[in-house]
Amino acid sequence: MERHFHENGGHSTTERGSYDKVGSLATNVTDGFTMVAVGDLIVSRPLTACGDASFAEIVKRLHEADVTFGNLETNIFDVRSFKGSPQCGGPYHVSLPELGPDLKAMGFNILSYANNHAFDWGVDGMRETCRILAQNGITYAGVGENLAQAGAARFLETPRGRVALVSIAASFTPMSRACEPAGEAPGRPGLNALRLARSIVVPPEMLESLKRIRDSLPGFSSAGDNPNRVLLAGATYKAGDRPGYSYAADNRDLNGILRNVRRGKQFADFCIATNHGHQPGNWSQEPPDYEQSLAHQLIDAGADAYVGHGPHQLRGIEIYKRRPIFYSLGNFITDDLRTPVGADMFAAYGKDPRLDTDAEVTVAEMARGYETDVALSDPLFYESIISVSRFEQNQLAELRLYPIELGHSKRFANRGIPGRVTAQKARAILERLQKLSKPFGTRIAIEDEVGVIRFEPGGPSQRDF
């Protein structure tokens, strides 16, 4: 493979021999290529002008990478002139239009947009958000006018290589899933969804008890009954040694996602695959049972990095075929000054819109937990990292993990903005990440309050695969 550099800093690749060959799925970036990846961006306003010196230090780090990635978990438009309406009963995440240029000023040049808040404000909110991101030169992926557009890789040109992004969501609102045309029915705008079939795992003796309950209910028919599973009140149960939750990916969705990753890599030098999912719940520090297989399949299909987000807290890191897998990077910004808050939310948390304020609803929601899952007021959800992956000789050479905290102890209006941490807090965050990553065979060193995963050039991975 020959690499030709042009005066403008861009590059193209040509392959010796026949031009009808599809390129290799190997990483193909220039030495020193760096990816910064962070977690969820729940932002309601521009932040770079806030004058916070600690935040300014973090912004500087974001600017030092070739590609800086985050998950945009909000919509961007002026609610005063917006002609659409909210499409869900839950939180209505919306940010001021000034957030578009501010995200660019922070250093973000590529964002995932497939998540459970992408369609809080329906198709109109999605389209306006996409318009503002494009207007500010930020590449985004994961939504579109139909499934083909939502699932397609989107591309970012950098001096060290062309970057592709495929964005999927395993957690999404029912009507936000994009669809292709079928017969005379048109395609449906939406996001690139990965549907999951959930089973509840119980001990064998408990499964037998559930069978007896099911069999005693009116309307039950044993026709087509699966002896290894019980369907009861809309939930599927199966026997296992460890009680919990099990997930199976929909093969139709999975095959399309793998194809889009393969196609994205064929047209790029570096491919990021990203997934937004809350499974098995925001209470869990472990990823769901389907996700490791998914991450491995995506890397086998051509992804150079897998970035998970959604549970609002850190999960472990794995290195597979010298590519990083982040099972969750937690929150990066939770500046959740949510306004307006819909009547459904006031009712859900026992508040009266004639007496209580939007902020009081949001604080009550965080104290009780989203969808009764877990209280997101816990300091755990305000601790995270900035990951910096550096590639040499087309392999991951070093991964650095910079701890941050989001001001849990600050008043509501000032909470959620990332800043530096004390040495003691940095070590606590990294030691927790060490523990979470150990089941994946990942060894994280702690050097001057920074987590480090390092490889020798051309050397073996941390694990044998």
pLDDT in tens, 121-175: 999 999 999 999 999 999 999 999 999 999 999 999 999 999 999 999 999 998 8
Pairwise CA distance, residues 156 & 384, whole Å? 26
What is the band of 374 on the pLDDT scale with cuts at 50, 70, 90?
low
- Which range has the worst mean pLDDT, 186-200, 210-224, 293-307, 385-399? 210-224
- pTM, two decimal places: 0.91
Is residue 12 within 8 Å of 298, Cβ to Cβ? no
Core vs surface per residue 155-173: b (16+ CB within 10 A) or e? bbebebbbbbbbbbbbbbb
For the chain, the C-alpha Rg in angstroms (whole number) is 23
Q: What is the pLDDT of residue 14?
A: 37
- For residue 369, is pLDDT > 70? no
pLDDT band for position 185 (cuts 50, 70, 90): very high
The string over 40-49, giving b where at least 16 C-beta atoms fall within 10 Å of a residue's C-beta and e elsewhere, is: bbbbbebbbe
User: What mean pLDDT comes out for the span 4-17?
Assistant: 38
Strands (E), 33-91: 33-42, 67-72
Measured CA to CA, the distance from residue 18 to residue 265 in angstroms comes to: 19
What pLDDT score was predicted for residue 23?
67
List, for residues 23-69, the tens digit of each pLDDT value. Answer: 678 899 999 999 999 999 999 999 998 878 999 999 999 999 999 99
Better-predicted residue by pLDDT, 168 or 5: 168
In this prediction, residue 17 has a pLDDT band, given cuts at 50, 70 and 90, of very low
In this predicted structure, the answer to whether residue 91 has a pLDDT above a threshold of 50 is yes
Least confident of 53-67, 102-116, 331-345: 331-345
Kindly indicate the confidence band of residue 414, based on its pLDDT and cuts at 50, 70 and 90.
confident
The DSSP bridge partners found for residue 190 are 144
Within 106-228, strands assigned E span 110-112, 139-141, 143-144, 154-158, 161-169, 190-191, 196-202
Cα 341 from Cα 92, distance rounded (Å)? 6
Closest CA to 37 of 54, 53, 61, 56: 61
Whether the bond between 340 and the residue before it is cis, its omega within 30 degrees of 0, is yes
Q: Do 274 and 71 form a contact (C-beta atoms < 8 A)?
A: yes
For residue 460, pLDDT over 80 is answered with: no
Instruction: State the CB neighbour count (10 A cutoff) for residue 185.
Output: 9
Q: What are phi and psi of 244, to 5 degrees?
A: 160, -145
Residue 373: per-residue pLDDT: 61
Of the candidates 314, 291, 326, 293, the residue with the CA atom closest to the CA atom of residue 399: 326
Task: Please check whether residue 403 is in contact with residue 434, taking contact to mean a CB–CB distance below 8 angstroms.
Answer: no
The pLDDT of residue 409: 82
pLDDT attached to residue 325: 98
Q: Where are the domains of the chain?
A: 2-190+260-340+378-454, 204-239
Q: Which span out of 212-216, 268-272, 460-464 was modeled with the highest average pLDDT?
A: 268-272
- Residues 181 and 121: their CA atoms lie apart, in Å, by 23
Mean pLDDT for all residues in the chain: 90
> Measuring CA to CA, which residue among 256, 255, 277, 270 is closest to residue 303?
270
| Alpha-carbon gap, residue 284 to 8, rounded angstroms | 47
pLDDT band at 88 (very low <50, low <70, confident <90, very high): confident
Using pLDDT thresholds of 50, 70 and 90, give the confidence band for residue 277. very high
Closest CA to 94 of 77, 111, 82, 113: 77
Side-chain-side CA neighbours of 233 within 13 Å: the count stands at 5
Q: Are 415 and 464 in contact (CB under 8 A)?
A: no
What pLDDT is recorded for position 458?
55
Mean pLDDT value across residues 405-418: 87
pLDDT above 70 for 189: yes
CB atoms within 10 A of CB 317: 24
DSSP category for residue 266: H
pLDDT-above-70 percentage for the chain? 91
The whole-angstrom separation of Cα 283 and Cα 292 is 19
pLDDT bucket at 102, cuts 50 / 70 / 90: very high
| Closest among 274, 65, 41 to 153, alpha carbons compared | 274
- With beta carbons less than 8 A apart as the criterion, state whether 240 and 250 touch: no
Q: How far apart are CA 433 and CA 439, in angstroms?
A: 11
pLDDT at residue number 21: 61
Q: What is the mean pLDDT of residues 74-91?
A: 87
Report pLDDT for 370. 58
Q: Rounded to 5 degrees, what are φ and ψ at 156?
A: -125, 130
Unique residue bearing structure tokens 């909470």: 415
Q: Which fold has domain 2-190+260-340+378-454?
A: Purple Acid Phosphatase; chain A, domain 2 (3.60.21)
